[in-house]
Amino acid sequence: MGLFEGKKGLIFGVANKYSIAWGIAQALAAEGAELGFSYAGPALERRVRPLAESLNARYIEPCDVTRDEDIERAFAKAQEVYGTIDFLVHAIAFAKREELDGRFVDTSRDGFHLAMDVSVYSLVALTRAAEPLMPNGGSILTLTYYGSEKVMPHYNVMGVAKAALEASVRYLAADLGPKGIRVNAISAGPIKTLSASGVAGFRRMLHHFSKVAPLRRNVTQEDIGKTALWLLSDWANAVTGEVIYVDAGYNILGLTVPLEELS
Ligand code: NAD
């Protein structure tokens, strides 16, 4: 019997088969979870629907997280289909390409608002909407990146958004802890996805990462999926408000130069 047999949850953030959210969905489905999928808008339906249908999803709904009415409708529909849910995955972020190309100091007011709205406020809004569907407690998971803590080239406003996202995880965890709802984040090492392709020099960054990370490799969708399983399951039932690194150990390094270059 799978770890998630009899458990139901929603996945927000699948764009295609390379999405981290899809890796998490596959891991959950393999353990018997019943999954519903929400995607950003009509342009993505073509890619998301077949993936969701391959896991027999009964819930496949659009939701642009910048629109309150979309969120309201998406959760009303989830309540209609499932009644209650056990977990929610938030794997959503966005910044305008021009905000990632130049200097952080040149971030526009609009670009700052948009990145914070889509990448941070959406977690707050989705968590609030999910709360009534989790009367017996639950687990909420979001995705962050080390650029929240240290300066990463071309991450700019997204680094600031991820710092706010991680702080939001702690405040949400404190608010919802008394109801048995846990809120955590996975800080993933770089993975080539649609969003990542907006970060200039990403391919070279992946290469560098695999040369210096303690495990000497890049991380995969499966790696993230396995830790997501743990955080979303009862195995982590006393873990909340945390940021867990799934980054082959990169974040522990003080000097990110391959050892060979020093000898
Ligand atoms: P992805 O492009 O596959 O997923 C990003 C998702 O955000 C897409 O499904 C997109 O449709 C959704 N989205 C954007 N704007 C939206 C909106 N207005 N409404 C609803 N959905 C919207 O890329 P990914 O790398 O799988 O990203 C998932 C999460 O993982 C993001 O939070 C990202 O920052 C984080 N992350 C990614 C990496 C990486 O290297 N890929 C590393 C660490 C953290």
Mutate-to-test residue for ligand 1 from 169, 193, 208, highest number of ligand atoms within 8 A of CB: 193
Does residue 257 lie in a domain region?
A: no
59 belongs to the catalytic site: no
Cα(174)–Cα(184) distance, integer angstroms: 11
In the chain, the number of structural domains is 1
Indicate whether residue 224 lines ligand 1 (CB < 6 A): no
Residue 260 C-alpha to ligand 1 middle, in angstroms?
Answer: 34
pLDDT of residue 257: 87
pLDDT of residue 144: 98
Asked if residue 178 has pLDDT above 80, the reply is yes
CATH number of the domain bearing residue 135: 3.40.50.720
Range(s) of the domain holding residue 120: 8-248
Does residue 3 lie in a domain region?
A: no
Does residue 253 lie in a domain region?
A: no
**Each residue of 120-129: pLDDT tens digit?**
999 999 999 9
Does residue 26 lie in a domain region?
A: yes
Does residue 259 lie in a domain region?
A: no
pLDDT of residue 262: 83
Does residue 260 lie in a domain region?
A: no
Does residue 167 lie in a domain region?
A: yes
Q: What is the mean pLDDT of the chain?
A: 97
Does residue 50 lie in a domain region?
A: yes
pLDDT of residue 11: 98
